[in-house]
Amino acid sequence: MQGCAEPVLRPEIRAATVRLLERCGYQVSFAPGEACCGALTHHMGREAEALAAARRNVEAWSREIEAGLEAIVITASGCGTTIKDYGYMLRDDPLYAEKAARVSALAKDVSEVIEAAGLPARVEIPARIVAYHPPCSIQHGQKLTTGPQNLLRAAGFTVKLPADSHLCCGSAGTYNIFQPEIAGQLGARKAQTLEALWPDVVATGNIGCAVQIGQHSGLPVAHIVELLDWATGGPAPAGL
């Protein structure tokens, strides 16, 4: 998935993802016609807009599925949670229910795809301590609680979790826009518990979390794929 916020804010995440997937033996393509996943309008209760976005993407990805697509790889877990729900969101649409269910079944967080494929051969990089922030959309929405951490450890990093790893960083889709004061408090607390681990870098799997934590901490923040890419032959993420 190309996404809409991530390529503007952190285009290096997509570049790292493509390199990593290609090292795993995959051919990477981008679906013409794909656009915003609809998560943010869905959060706001603007159902008609959210369903229109879902239908547009279902159409785009269905064309790719017919051509042999094996997985829809998503690097922003906030988007992934919604796309995995397309089948439910469009369950009563006679024209889209079946296609949406097929799309949801193929939707995968990038960590799931790398874990299934197996991490490519490692290269020699400096030892680094990683503070891993599991996004709410990963651990609570998609129930992916161990895969990202295991991949980072397999890549040679020392991984630590903050004491409040089960709690939100305050980004939460549109929450940081509509409730900036509380979101700011959550972000400051999350930054404090991450910094208490004395890491070299914070890793996460969602662009919203990365931006939110970066606003409250002086630590470098990277997507897990940037670190996995670095450990298997790619460039070091910014700040490292």
Give the model confidence (pLDDT) of 58-85 as tens digits.
Answer: 999 999 999 999 999 999 999 999 999 9
> Mean pLDDT over residues 28-57, rounded?
94
> Mean pLDDT over residues 176-195, rounded?
93
A 10 A CB-CB count for 122 gives 13
Q: What is the pLDDT of residue 187?
A: 93
Could you report the per-residue pLDDT of 5-42, keeping only the tens digit for each? 888 888 999 999 999 999 999 999 999 999 999 999 99
Confidence tier at 226 by pLDDT (50, 70, 90): very high
d(CA 86, CA 237): 33
> Mean pLDDT over residues 224-229, rounded?
98
Place of tokens 């009563």: 92
Phi-psi region of 127 (alpha: psi -120 to 50; beta: other; left: phi over 0): beta
Q: Kindly report the average pLDDT of the chain as a whole number.
A: 94
> Mean pLDDT over residues 189-200, rounded?
96
Confidence tier at 177 by pLDDT (50, 70, 90): confident
Q: What is the pLDDT of residue 211?
A: 94
Residue of 48, 55, 44, 61 lying closest to 95 (CA atoms): 55
d(CA 53, CA 164): 34
Q: What is the pLDDT of residue 62?
A: 95
